């Protein structure tokens, strides 16, 4: 399998570390809804088909990539920097020092190559 890292170009599977399902949304850290947390930590849609997932270019630039890849054929449909992928699978975090709730983070790109 070859994944094209936006920074490093096409690289072999051996350089990448699979970081799992990219469809999950991390709840707002302040959320106390246990069911939401359980769902985030344990439940997977486990798609048979095009699967959105996170890979880290661990043997290269160490950036995280959002890859859409067929779990039936392993064909890779798209690769994007997770920071840029509109994939902020996270609720915002209450900043401990300021206490300002940022709410869910938008998908705006702030990553610099």
Partner 1 sequence: MAEYSAFALLKNALSGNTDWKPAWRKAAPKPSYDVIIVGGGGHGLSTAYYLAKEHGITNVAVLEKGYLGSGNVGRNTTIVRSNYLLPDSIRFYEHSMKLWENLSHDLNYNVMFSQRGVLNLAHTPAQADDYIRRGNAMRHQGGDAEWLSAAEIGRRVPGLDVSAKARFPVVGGLLQPRAGTARHDAVAWGYARGADRRGVDLIEHCEVTGFLREGDRIVGVVTNRGEIRARKVGVAVAGSTGRVMKLAGIDKLPIESHVLQAFVSESIKPFVDSVVTFGAGHLYMSQSDKGGLVFGGGLDEYNTYAQRGNLPLVEEVMSEICAMFPAIGRLRLLRSWGGVMDMSMDGSPIITKGPLPGMYLNSGWCYGGFKATPASGWAFAWTIARDEPHAINAAYTLDRFNRGVLIDEKGQGSTPKLH
Partner 2 sequence: MSGRRSETGGLIDRSRTVRFTFDGALYTGFAGDTLASALLANGVSLFGRSFKYHRPRGVLTAGVDEPNALVTVLKGGVREPNIPATMLEIHDGLSAVSQNRFPSLAFDLGAVNQLGGKLISAGFYYKTFMGPVIGPLKGTRFWMLCEHFIRRAAGLGKPDFAPDPWRYERMNAFCDVLVVGSGPAGLAAAKAAADRGARVIVADLDQRMGGSAKWTDDTIEGMSAADWAASALKDLTGRQNVTLLPRTTVWGYYDGNTVAALERVTDHKAVAGKGEPRHRHWVIRAGTVVLATGAFERPLVFPGNDRPGVMLAGAAARYAGEFGVLPSGRVAVFANNDGAYRAAAALKEAGADIAAIIDVRSDISAGARALAGRAGVEPMLGRAVVGTAGGKALSSIRIQSYDAATGAVSGEVRTLDVESLLVSGGWSPAIHLASQAGAKAIWDDELQAFLPPESPGSWIGAGAFTGTFTTGGAVAEGQAAGIAATGGEVATAVDDTAEDDIDLRPAPVFEIRADGKAFVDLQLDVTAEDVRLAHREGFVSVEHLKRYTTLGMGTDQGRTSNVPGLAIMAEAQGAPIPEVGTTRFRPPFAPVSIGALAAERFGELKPERLTPMHDWHVEQGAVMYAAGLWLRPQIYGQPGETVEQAYVREAKAVREAAGLVDVSTLGKIMVQGPDAAAFLDRVYTNVFSTLPVNKARYGLMLREDGLAFDDGTTWRLSETDFLMTTTTANAGKVMQYLEYFLDVVWPDLKVHVTSVTDEWAGAAIGGPKARDILAACVTGTAVDNAALPFMGIVHGEIAGVPVMICRLSFSGEMAYEVYSGAGHGQPVWDALLAAGKPLGLVPYGLEALGTLRIEKGHVTGAEIDGRTTARDLHLDWMLSKKKPFVGSMMMDREGLADEDRIKLVGVISLDNRPLNGGAHIVEELDRDNPRDSIGHITAVCYSPALGKYIGLALVKGGKKRHGARAYTSDPLRNRFGPVEIVSHHMFDPEGKRMHG
Residues that bind partner 1 (CB under 8 A): 1, 12-14, 17-18, 20-21, 34-35, 38-39, 41-48, 51, 53, 69, 71-74
Separation CA 25–CA 17 (nearest Å): 20
Instruction: Verify binding: residue 63, partner 2, rule CB under 8 A.
Output: yes
When the beta carbons of 2 and 45 are compared against partner 2, the nearer one is: 2
CB of 1 to partner 1, least distance (A): 5
Which string of x and - marks every residue 3-32 that binds partner 2 (by CB under 8 A)?
-------x-xx---x-x------xx-xxxx
Separation CA 97–CA 104 (nearest Å): 18
When the beta carbons of 6 and 40 are compared against partner 1, the nearer one is: 40
Nearest to 111 by CA among 80, 90, 89: 80
Separation CA 92–CA 102 (nearest Å): 6
Nearest to 70 by CA among 51, 45, 46: 51
């Amino acid at each position: 399998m070859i994944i094209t890292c936006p920074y490093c170009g096409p690289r072999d599977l051996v350089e990448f570390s699979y970081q799992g399902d990219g469809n999950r949304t991390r709840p707002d850290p302040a959320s106390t809804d246990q069911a939401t947390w359980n769902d985030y930590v344990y439940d997977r849609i486990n798609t048979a088909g095009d699967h959105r997932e996170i890979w880290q270019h661990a043997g290269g630039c160490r950036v995280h990539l959002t890859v859409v890849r067929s779990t039936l054929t392993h064909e890779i449909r798209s690769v994007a920097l997770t920071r840029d992928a509109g994939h902020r699978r996270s609720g915002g975090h209450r900043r401990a020092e300021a206490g300002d709730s940022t709410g869910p983070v938008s998908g705006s790109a702030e990553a610099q190559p």
